[in-house]
Structure 1
Amino acid sequence: MKEKLKEHIDKLIPLTDDEFAFVLSHFKFDKYNKNDFLIQQGEDVDYCYYVVTGLLKLIYMDQGGKQHIVSFAMEDWWESDFSAYFTQSKAKMSLQCIENTVVFSIGLSDYQKLSTELPKMERFFLQKSNLGHIASQNRIISFLTSSANERYEQLLKQYPTLFQRVSKTLLASYLGVSRETLSRLSS
C-alpha cells in the first residue's frame, strides 16, 4: 500500500527512497468498513486522508436534516473537511465510507512539519491544494450555469466508474436533483 502513496507523490514531486521513508513516517495507515465515519459533523478534524482503495463521501447535513453530497473521494484522491482541518475548528461536514476503504492519514502538525522540513512536500501539498481549489470552483460554476442534464453528462464523462459504485440516491444528491429527476436523466 505504501507504494501507491509513493507513486502518487512521485507523479508531481519525485522523492528519493530516504525522503519517502521520512514522509511515510508522518502518516498513519487505516482501514475502514462501509458506512464508517472518518469525520463527523460537530467533532474535531484531526486528519486529512489519502484514499488508497475504496470510496468516501463528504456530506453536509442541513438544519432540516437533508444530506448534501459535497464530494466523492475515490482511489488516489485526498479528502477532509479542509476548513476545519486547517483552522482546527469543529467539522461542518462528515466524511463517510461508501465502500470498505483504506487510507493514509496525516495530522496537521505532521503536515506542517513535512512542509517545513522537506520543501518538496510543501510544493506537493500546494499543487494538490491548487488542483482541489480549481475542481471546487469548476463545480460551483457548473451549478450556477449548467442544467441538471448537463451536470449529469459532465459527471458521466469525467468519472464514468462512479456510476457503477454509487447509488442513484447519492448521485442525485451530488448533482442537486431528486432521484426521480436523475432516473429521467439516465434513461
Structure 2
Amino acid sequence: MDQLRNHIEEITPISDEEFAYIKTFFTKKKIKKHQYLIQSGDKVQCEYWIIKGTLRAFYINKDGKEHILQFAIKNWWISDYNAYFNQTESAINIVCMEDAEILCLTLYAREKLASELHKMEHFFRMKLTLLYSSQQKRIISLLSDNPKERYEKFASYYPNILQKIPKKYIAEYLGVCRETLSRIYLNN
C-alpha cells in the first residue's frame, strides 16, 4: 500500500490518518496471465490501479477486428470509464498480459472518498485530466501522423512498455500491420 500512497502523493500530500482511511476503500485482487478483468457486456463495477503487471484494453468491432485502446502497467489506472461512470455494460475488454496485482475501487467508494476528502477529489480530477489529455494526443496522432511518427511518439512517451509488450500488440495499438512495424524497427 505504500506504493499507492506514493502514487497519490505525486499529486497531493496526505497524512498518515488520511491514508489509513483512503486504503479502506480499495480491495486487492490478483489476476493471472490471459485472465479477463472486464469482458464486453460485463457491468463495470470498478476502476483498477495496477500494483504490478501489464493489462491491455481493446474493442472488437462488428467484423471481429481487435482495436487496442490502452496498455496499462504498474502505477496506471484502467477501466471502461464510460461503463464505470454510467454504471452500464462494458463495450471493451481488459485482459491481463502477465500475472498482475491490482487494487479495485468501486464508483461508490470513489465518490465517497472525493466528497469526504478534497485532496482525493483533486487527485481523481488530475488523473482524469491526464487520461483525457493523453487520449486526445493519441487520436490526433492516429489522424495526422504517419506510422513511423506514431511509433516514435509511442517509444518516447512509453519507453518502459516497449520491452514488455509483443510487437503484434504494439502494431495494433499504432494502427499498422506487423510488417510495417518490423520495417520501422529495422530503420531505427
Q: Matched residues, percent identical?
A: 39
Looking at structure 1, the residues matched to 168 and 8 of structure 2 have their Cα atoms a distance apart, in angstroms, of 34
TM-score (norm 2): 0.97
Partner of 1:153: 152
Quote the RMSD (CA, aligned, Å).
0.7
Partner of 1:142: 141
Deviation of residue 157 (structure 1)?
1.5
Counterparts of 1:33-182 in structure 2 under 5 Å? 33-182=32-181
- SS of residue paired to 1:161: helix
Looking at structure 1, the residues matched to 129 and 157 of structure 2 have their Cα atoms a distance apart, in angstroms, of 19
**Structure 2: runs of 5+ lacking an equivalent:** none
TM-score (norm 1): 0.97
Looking at structure 2, the residues matched to 156 and 118 of structure 1 have their Cα atoms a distance apart, in angstroms, of 37
Name the aligned partner's letter for residue 173 of structure 1.
Answer: E
Looking at structure 2, the residues matched to 46 and 95 of structure 1 have their Cα atoms a distance apart, in angstroms, of 13
Name the aligned partner's letter for residue 51 of structure 1.
Answer: I
Looking at structure 2, the residues matched to 113 and 86 of structure 1 have their Cα atoms a distance apart, in angstroms, of 14
Deviations 1:98-140 (A, max 9, x none): 1111111100000111011111101100000001000010001
Looking at structure 2, the residues matched to 127 and 158 of structure 1 have their Cα atoms a distance apart, in angstroms, of 19
- SS of residue paired to 1:165: coil
Aligned pairs, number: 186
Which runs of 4 or more aligned residues in structure 1 lie more than 6 Å from their structure 2 counterparts after TM superposition? none
- SS of residue paired to 1:48: strand
Deviation of residue 144 (structure 1)?
1.1
Looking at structure 2, the residues matched to 134 and 89 of structure 1 have their Cα atoms a distance apart, in angstroms, of 24
- SS of residue paired to 1:21: helix
Looking at structure 1, the residues matched to 160 and 111 of structure 2 have their Cα atoms a distance apart, in angstroms, of 34
- SS of residue paired to 1:60: strand
Deviation of residue 161 (structure 1)?
2.1
Counterparts of 1:25-36 in structure 2 under 5 Å? 25-36=24-35
Deviation of residue 13 (structure 1)?
1.0
- SS of residue paired to 1:63: coil
Partner of 2:8: 9
Looking at structure 1, the residues matched to 116 and 157 of structure 2 have their Cα atoms a distance apart, in angstroms, of 36
Deviation of residue 175 (structure 1)?
0.3
